[in-house]
Chain A
């Protein structure tokens, strides 16, 4: 690609009334060296036919910062050079004809501290509907330490969550109550009790279980907490159920969260669709009230899944760690929902590490420092079962929640048996891994052996042994590692 920065214009020329190319307005500067405090973004741009990719990239930089479609003299009242986002690098997308990656730098002063809503209103506000582009995707962002430090981050974080629950050295286990709609409060609590008594750490409301005619929220909370406390008495362990407090307005959400707290719940839950401001508000409420905050990423697939247009989930994961959620659904790789292994690894690293080095094979375009911000626990949910335990542990590591809904409740001997199967499978696999065994090679053997002293596990392995979801991923990284000759 032959792209050069345009020659700078004289002030008189630059501000002459009329329409000018974005490239010539100061939004395109390949010589610009990003500052350590700049916020960086990389976009995948598909220009309309005949549109110069450089001009398209400059337009994205312009429309996501100070520009409008025509020259305005009022720019000259401001330190406009500082406020202009600058496309500082542009390169073709590997294996594609008409797409480019445009790297754009934004000055820190463009953003309000501690506000995801302000950040997103700038970066993805207007520009995604811009006519000269066929499609646009925000692939990744570099959030500088200076900006990260303006956020509180997760209210609890992985380490403190483990300390509060007194659970170390293994993934946590959960299950979503099914059927997700229609159960009465009393029936709902039965599922919670059986699953927790059987050995799970958590049960979970589904994203769309709020307060419906078949079960009002107070009934769900009361019966669920009876189940949680009863299961604690049966096991001597701390247990929890993610009580979904998502509601039509903040006042109702606070009311539901307060009620959950008054009943002794350790965790509440919200949906991504409540919006970034509501998420940050709930995170602050959780900080004040010693509560773990679970986020279901309801709705994200509408804009994260297709590679040409939208926002990558790795950006959402970064925003949500800043916004301050303790749990977030981040993919299973092996389950029923979208998830390329390398892309998913990138998401998990964003949530759990203190520093992410650039790793294009995992979709990480920048070095990302987290400056000791607390860590978010990724949640793997959707179509997973005990027979995949060795794969899940190898692919996802131990600091995550493995969420077996159907894989617990669908067990032929009942919910408690399903829960026990999962817990035994998990503990057997951790034991074997720590003993130095190659669990990917010996996984089924380890599980079968554990099943000899645990009938529910043997039954689960038999029932689900052939279940896999083997489809091509739509969101794989563009870069593959090249084999070195060394």
Chain B
């Protein structure tokens, strides 16, 4: 199962050249880049771990690529890693772009748990097979 969160998950995995081009676009818009990773891919797991703070003062795509690669060295293969672009413009003040740049080799997917309640109604819960194990042992 391929996790399709993030903007470019339906395309073949991006090359570093392609990632750098997206980073450059974000920096050109005045946004800042953050790198985040997680081993809990649940769609409502909002807070992935931050690989340092968003890089507000780093305006060079090559520098961002270096950080992405440092993060990959430690977490690549064991975590999902995403690049996020943050925009502090008034009335936006949120993310502008978010895409996955590294994923575990084996993505076991999700179980849909159906709790039958109130006649025909169902109380749905989504659970990642990976998170059945403790963090650090999931991938």
Contacts and interface: CB of A to CB of B under 8 A. Distances in A.
Given A222-B121, A225-B124, A420-B10, A236 B22 contact: no
B126 to A, nearest CB: 6
Interface string A196-221: 00010000000000000000000000
Given A233-B111, A236-B3, A354-B91, A169 B97 contact: yes
B95 A163 contact: yes
Interface string A319-362: 00000000000000000000000000000000000100000000
Given A236-B1, A236-B41, A430-B7, A435 B21 contact: yes
Interface string B17-28: 010011001000
Nearest to A238: B43
Given A236-B3, A264-B124, A424-B11, A375 B91 contact: yes
Contact of A168 (B22, B44, B96, B128): B96
A265 to B, nearest CB: 11
A159 B43 contact: no
Contacts, number: 114
Interface string B84-123: 1100001111111111000000000111100000101111
B8 A427 contact: yes
A434 B22 contact: yes
A168 B98 contact: yes
Q: Is the interface of A mostly helix, strand, loop or mixed?
A: helix
Interface string A425-446: 0011011001110000000000
B107 to A, nearest CB: 8
A354 B112 CA distance: 41
B22 A232 contact: no
B18 A431 contact: yes
B5 interface: yes
A264 B99 CA distance: 26
A423 B10 contact: yes
B12 interface: yes
Nearest to A372: B91
A262 B120 CA distance: 12
Contacts of A233: 109-112, 126
A199 B10 contact: yes
A343 B16 CA distance: 41
Contacts of B135: none
B3 A162 contact: no
A263 interface: yes
Interface residues of B, number: 44
B43 A166 contact: yes
Contact of B43 (A237, A435, A436): A237
A434 B44 CA distance: 27
A230 B18 contact: no
B61 to A, nearest CB: 12
A162 B128 CA distance: 22
A436 to B, nearest CB: 7
Contacts of A238: 43-44
Given A159-B94, A233-B110, A233-B112, A427 B10 contact: yes
A226 interface: yes
A11 interface: no
A170 B95 CA distance: 12
A435 B111 CA distance: 37
Contacts of A236: 1, 3-5, 41-43, 109-110, 128
Contacts of B128: 236
A233 B118 CA distance: 23
A427 B11 contact: yes
A315 to B, nearest CB: 23
Contacts of A431: 8, 11, 14, 18, 22
A166 B21 contact: no
A166 B91 CA distance: 18
A256 interface: no
B94 A230 contact: no
Nearest to B12: A453
Interface of B: 1, 3-5, 7-12, 14, 18, 21-22, 25, 41-44, 46, 84-85, 90-99, 109-112, 118, 120-124, 126, 128
5 contacts: A159-B94, A163-B46, A163-B95, A236-B5, A263-B124
List 9 A-B pairs, minimum CB-CB distance, nearest first.
Answer: A169-B97, A434-B25, A233-B112, A236-B3, A229-B124, A233-B110, A435-B21, A169-B7, A168-B95
